[in-house]
């Protein structure tokens, strides 16, 4: 267990150090923001504050809660639960900082000097991280942190986000929940069975700030269906106290025994 703790800590503190370097850079960025750009300044301060508070929660969890296991005499059955919690906080913190850096790289282009939304929406291109602006170094190092894989008898840790998955899992439970961004909306894709598409389903998601959302879908889910959860998206540039929507898209898994014609027929029924 102590070997696992050491690996988690070494990667975690690499991330914390890089995040603090990014914060140091953002303070300088904020200092040079023009005074008359009130909307940009407000949006910047909101994003910076969310990132900083997320980092403090992560740092506190690492320093205080980990002491229980460091002071223990042997393996603890609670360690995997702690590591799962830590992985969740790590993922949330990384998302906050990537959003912050992405917005600054683009010059807070979602907001113009008068507080109106810009015509250049930050969509999937920005979410893919293709920009190479002023914050490229900070962005890359934050994304590169916490990339080690750790194994034990019952769990494996994702190389990207360190989430502790059960050994039987073939894909990271946390990574498959990654949101994409379309303007001010967050978009998540949920895999469901054909039976769930016809009879209804429940979607469980963890938000960027660590809250658990349970969304009950009672409608018949057809291939183009989207479930919209109001005010669970990104802060609006014009008014950061308000948020866009969370849109859930569905990937319907058809039974493998159906042939192509049967699948096509079912899609037509679902779309009717």
Asked, for residue 108, whether it belongs to a domain, the answer is yes
Asked, for residue 110, whether it belongs to a domain, the answer is yes
Question: Residue 184 is encoded by which pair of tokens?
Answer: 């001010």
Does 231 lie in the same domain as 159? no
Does 139 lie in the same domain as 36? yes
| Of 76, 138, 56, 141, the residue nearest 104 (C-alpha) | 138
Does 149 lie in the same domain as 21? yes
Looking at residue 111, the DSSP 8-state letter turns out to be B
Asked, for residue 146, whether it belongs to a domain, the answer is yes
Residue 163 near residue 79 (C-beta atoms within 8 A): no
Q: Tokens 């906050």 identify what position? A: 96
Asked, for residue 175, whether it belongs to a domain, the answer is no
Does 20 lie in the same domain as 77? yes
pLDDT at 151: 45
Residue 184 near residue 176 (C-beta atoms within 8 A): no
Q: Whole-angstrom Cα distance, residue 125 to residue 109?
A: 14
**CA 265 to chain centroid:** 36
Does 139 lie in the same domain as 42? yes
pLDDT at 224: 83
Classified as helix, coil or strand, 213 is strand
Does 112 lie in the same domain as 15? yes
pLDDT digits (tens, 9 = 90+) for 196-216: 888 888 888 877 666 788 999
What is the domain extent for residue 110? 2-170
Does 138 lie in the same domain as 69? yes
Number of domains within the chain: 2
Does 233 lie in the same domain as 98? no
Q: Whole-angstrom Cα distance, residue 101 to residue 24?
A: 12
Of 106, 137, 170, which closes a domain?
170
Q: Tokens 């200092």 identify what position? A: 31
| Of 31, 28, 96, 32, the residue nearest 58 (C-alpha) | 96
pTM: 0.42
Q: Whole-angstrom Cα distance, residue 217 to residue 266?
A: 19
| Residues of the chain below pLDDT 50 | 113-153
pLDDT at 117: 38
Asked, for residue 191, whether it belongs to a domain, the answer is yes
Does 54 lie in the same domain as 140? yes
Of 138, 170, 202, which closes a domain?
170
Q: Whole-angstrom Cα distance, residue 233 to residue 247?
A: 8
Does 161 lie in the same domain as 186? no
Q: Whole-angstrom Cα distance, residue 27 to residue 25?
A: 5
Does 12 lie in the same domain as 114? yes
The DSSP bridge partners found for residue 191 are 251
Does 266 lie in the same domain as 197? yes
Of 145, 170, 195, which closes a domain?
170
Residue 186 is part of a domain; what is its CATH number?
2.60.260.20
Classified as helix, coil or strand, 272 is coil
């Amino acid at each position: 267990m102590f070997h696992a703790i050491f690996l988690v800590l070494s990667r975690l503190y690499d991330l914390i150090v890089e995040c603090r370097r990014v914060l140091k850079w953002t303070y300088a960025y904020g200092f040079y923001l023009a005074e008359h750009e009130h909307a940009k300044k407000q949006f910047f301060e909101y994003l910076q504050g969310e990132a900083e508070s997320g980092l403090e929660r992560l740092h506190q969890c690492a320093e205080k809660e980990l002491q229980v296991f460091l002071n223990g005499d042997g393996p603890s059955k609670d360690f995997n639960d702690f590591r799962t919690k830590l992985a969740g906080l790590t993922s949330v913190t990384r998302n906050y900082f990537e959003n912050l850096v992405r917005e600054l790289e683009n010059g807070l282009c979602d907001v113009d000097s008068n507080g109106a939304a810009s015509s250049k929406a930050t969509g999937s291109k920005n979410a893919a991280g293709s920009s190479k602006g002023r914050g490229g170094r900070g962005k890359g190092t934050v994304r590169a942190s916490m990339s080690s894989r750790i194994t034990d008898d019952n769990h494996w840790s994702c190389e990207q986000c360190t989430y502790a998955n059960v050994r039987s899992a073939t894909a990271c439970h946390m990574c498959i929940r990654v949101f994409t961004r379309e303007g001010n909306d967050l978009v998540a894709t949920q895999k469901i069975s054909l039976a769930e598409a016809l009879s209804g389903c429940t979607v469980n998601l963890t938000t960027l700030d660590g809250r658990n959302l349970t969304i009950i879908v009672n409608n018949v889910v057809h291939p183009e269906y989207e479930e919209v959860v109001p005010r669970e998206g990104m802060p609006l540039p014009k008014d950061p106290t308000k948020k866009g929507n969370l849109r859930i898209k569905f990937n319907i898994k058809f039974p493998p025994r159906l042939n192509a014609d049967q699948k096509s027929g079912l899609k037509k029924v679902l779309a009717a």
